[in-house]
Amino acid sequence: MAEYTHSTSWTPFDASTYRIGIVTGQFNTEACELLVANAKEKLTQYRVSDDTVDVFRVSGSAELPVVLKHLATTEKYDALVAIGVIVRGQTVHFDYVAKIATEGILRVQMDYGIPIGFGVLMLENHDQLADRIRVGGDAAEAALQSAKVIKENS
């Protein structure tokens, strides 16, 4: 049986007029910064320049939704990207933070109609991170592609 590999078939488009907000947790800072760098790298493939990307840092993944909501209310951004890293520990804390982040981000998207690329990693251990750094770029690309659909149909 063939092994599944991750791939996308998106063609980058000119998103040079798009304004993007990235909100990243600072718990697991080094990992989050790698994801942000990957997201910004992907944005350049869509001709999004650094001066149209704002990065906001919050404590952790549980704090992502409230800042995303605030940014959505400004109507300044075409798309947002949520970046976080949650690593399972020896307590149930992981489950609660993952739920808060996931449901909060979904709620902001649905309540405000703004695409939010979901770049929150939920890992069993830190060793899983290396294979998932591309998620920052995947999240940025998903947000851009959704923003394009919204713009074309508004």
3-state secondary structure of 54: strand
Residue 32 lies in a domain: yes
Residue 6 lies in a domain: no
Quickly state the pLDDT bin for 91 (edges 50, 70, 90): confident
Q: CATH number, domain at 87?
A: 3.40.50.960
Residue 15 lies in a domain: no
Residue 105 lies in a domain: yes
Q: What are phi and psi of 54, to 5 degrees?
A: -110, 135
For residue 108, the model assigns a pLDDT of 98
Residue 2 lies in a domain: no
Please write the tens of the pLDDT for every residue from 34-57: 999 999 999 999 999 999 999 999
Residue 13 lies in a domain: no
Please say if the pLDDT value at position 6 is more than 80.
no
Please write the tens of the pLDDT for every residue from 13-37: 999 999 999 999 999 999 999 999 9
Residue 64 lies in a domain: yes
For residue 4, the model assigns a pLDDT of 57
Count of structural domains within the chain: 1
Quickly state the pLDDT bin for 5 (edges 50, 70, 90): low
For residue 8, the model assigns a pLDDT of 65
Write down the mean pLDDT value for the chain.
94
Q: Catalytic annotation on 6?
A: no
Residues 6 or more apart whose Cβ sits within 8 Å of residue 28: 84, 85, 86, 87
**Catalytically annotated residue among 6, 70, 93, 126:** 93
Predicted model pTM: 0.93
Mean pLDDT confidence for 71-79? 98
Domain that holds residue 115: 20-152
∠ Cα 29 133 25 (to 5°): 30
Residue 4 lies in a domain: no
CA atoms of 70 and 43, how far apart (whole Å): 22
